[in-house]
Chain A
């Protein structure tokens, strides 16, 4: 073969390969053009209809909703969505899903028609009829900034306070007539009546939407996704006449946008008849002596029966419901399945309604976020607390953490709890809690050493000056910020035990050297305690790291141990 023919052939080969590649890469070229579109979107929806049995199906269409609404004048949703009873139904050009074939035709006809119109009027327009793969492809990926919106206390409160949101029920009318201001709860909250198969406003029984509207449609209750869009967007759009909240995707769902949502500093408490302060008892409601008050006439338990109940149960717990409301974002933080009393599902011996989680476990399970101990333990991870608490061994409830009496402080017999009604109970709870806080002992400042000189490695470094009082003051400041810490640290000597661990709570706790010594080849204690050097460095460095006190780098020896003067 001559050189000329060879080079010709090679050139031909090169050209064909190039063409093939260009053809294959076509979609990618489009994607590059739309690269801007792919960045940080919170409005990506996949339109995918139910598969026709036996038929082959194109992949679903990735649809950017906000991209389309921006093209629509004056937020006119009716371009794509139909109305039923004056409210939009957020399906594309139909009120209900029918067969895949019909629905598919709706999409194809309307999408393409609109794209063609746009192109005709000189706009860029979307893919047309023969460009199937421009919509139906699995290639285009986008960086999602979508995040579920948390309708937290602040947002809830803003809706409560909104003047434009008014209940349309008779209660409101009656209240208006009487000149009172009735809360607007009924604008959103409703219950479902099985008999009449209708929703109605159940005053005083408002629940979280999530209790009925789950991730997917269950029985009559539509999915949370459907009802939140139908409810929230329609209200923002129709009832409020574009006055109120967001109506596009990113307004609620974009991570960055969510940060811009105004947070109320002063949040009014939700009113649903919950107590400020209450006493939690351990006995089943069925045998609950407090029930006896209500049904006093009928079947009052005999005194000896009551006595037996009181004697066989732990002392009740005072619970500050009001304080706990402040520290959680919404009711669901604790009340996960309904806003009922814990005991209704978590019975003493467990029931299927409460997933067989016993009452005791529901309060003490260290691994659950919803139990008292679980949530309190989680709070120990806050940097303000972690300095001391992170170094304490994890205790399971059964590990003999002998401080039941920190919470179980109500002597039911002595205060005659069984004869109390709600308000009396609240008063008693307040009184008991106050009494407990009153015994809080402070350590006198003159009893706290100002500085502690540590000189065990004086042969290598100058002795360290540990600013004992300064450290205590810093920790105290952090405790004062936190009402839980104030409650549970008993008195100020508890705080000493953060460092002087394993020492009894006293104003004169042991020195480190009482337990920790120098490390040698056979000095390891079988209880796992570190040597003196490990104990000092462990305590100081871990605490600094966990409490994010970064004034000293852990590796900067001379910051604490001054170079020895020769």
Chain B
């Protein structure tokens, strides 16, 4: 079956709606709840003071994950000259840093230098920190990343669409991409050796570390152990466990003799998890998507109704005016009629009077004539 982009996006709509409904309790990303990791989940404590930079962990990782052999052998320590990052074929790398720990040692006192720089090197292992609330998982819209109950952040290549949002989202710059794989490229990162953990084995790097600079265990226990080390050797560590709170906490924890930014670790990340940072904006989405049509329809309906009422009112007013005008006209007409009738009557009366007067005058004249006639006759 071929998947077209169009088809795929169509599914997402359905899948997203379905998954939010089904796995509501697991989706911590967009909630405001604080998630302190699954109880009993595992982690690894990396004690930088102990690491000797032998690269055995890199070798073990390579073997466990059946990766291609590197260009330079693992016992070639010259690669430490350069600052390296994880690659698609190396889930973990060890970097070397100058040890800037200032400690007045008894030797220095004898040579009368008040404080000298310890010139030995520090080695720091770099791999996925397996955040308690992973930003990569939060950024992934197909849920290819999941935080497992064991503490591992897992990747499901069958779900991945290759958008590489996870690589952008990761504050530690960890996920890598198989750019050289033309057909089935995958996002690559440390798995915390989840299959091994499930088999009751230690992660490859932890198992091989000769100096036990890596310690595997329950995260809460590791934090306790780390505190104990700081307390027992206060002058050998900075009083901070990196990863206890960084980015909302990570399953990998670090102890260092120097400030963490001096060994290439970011100190500007804050204590909020990645998802927490976007939760505010993302939590507004349902409201916007759900309520705006209702709101806008409402607004439309209201304005529509307003128009209708106005229209009706107008019609009514027109009608009312019409009636009044008619009435007035009728009134006026009636008055006019009355007046005309009156006028007619008056005219009639006048005419009648006139006629009567005429008649009277004629009669009078006739009488006079008669009189005269008679008189004449008499004559």
Contacts and interface: CB of A to CB of B under 8 A. Distances in A.
Verify that A and B bind, or say they do not: yes
Interface string B37-56: 00000000000001011100
B70 to A, nearest CB: 17
Given A394-B233, A521-B200, A385 B212 contact: no
A530 B212 contact: yes
Interface in A119-150: 150
A531 B106 CA distance: 31
Contacts of A386: 105-106
B215 interface: yes
A379 B105 CA distance: 8
Interface in A488-547: 519-522, 524, 526, 528, 530-531, 533-534, 537-538, 541, 545
B312 interface: no
Q: How large is the interface on B (under 10, 10 to 19, 20 to 34, 35 or more residues)?
A: 35 or more
A116 B3 CA distance: 92
Interface stretch (B221-229, B266-274, B347-355, B366-374): B221-229
B211 A538 contact: yes
B112 interface: yes
Contacts of B202: 519-521
A545 B99 CA distance: 13
Interface residues of A, number: 31
A102 B235 CA distance: 55
B227 to A, nearest CB: 10
Contact of A528 (B107, B229, B236): B229
A386 B120 CA distance: 15
A172 B163 CA distance: 94
B106 A394 contact: no
| Secondary structure type dominating chain A contacts | loop
A528 B228 contact: yes
A522 B112 CA distance: 48
B282 interface: no
A381 interface: yes
Contacts of A537: 210-212
Contacts of B337: none
B52 A555 contact: yes
Nearest to B54: A555
A353 B63 CA distance: 68
A393 interface: yes
B215 A381 contact: no
A538 B105 contact: no
A49 B221 CA distance: 63
Contacts of B106: 378-383, 385-386
A555 B77 contact: yes
Contacts of A528: 225, 228-229, 232
16 contacts: A378-B106, A378-B109, A379-B106, A381-B103, A381-B106, A383-B107, A386-B105, A386-B106, A394-B232, A394-B234, A519-B212, A528-B228, A531-B212, A533-B212, A541-B211, A555-B53
Interface of B: 50, 52-54, 77, 103-107, 109-110, 112, 120, 197, 200-202, 207, 210-212, 215-217, 221, 224-225, 228-229, 232-236
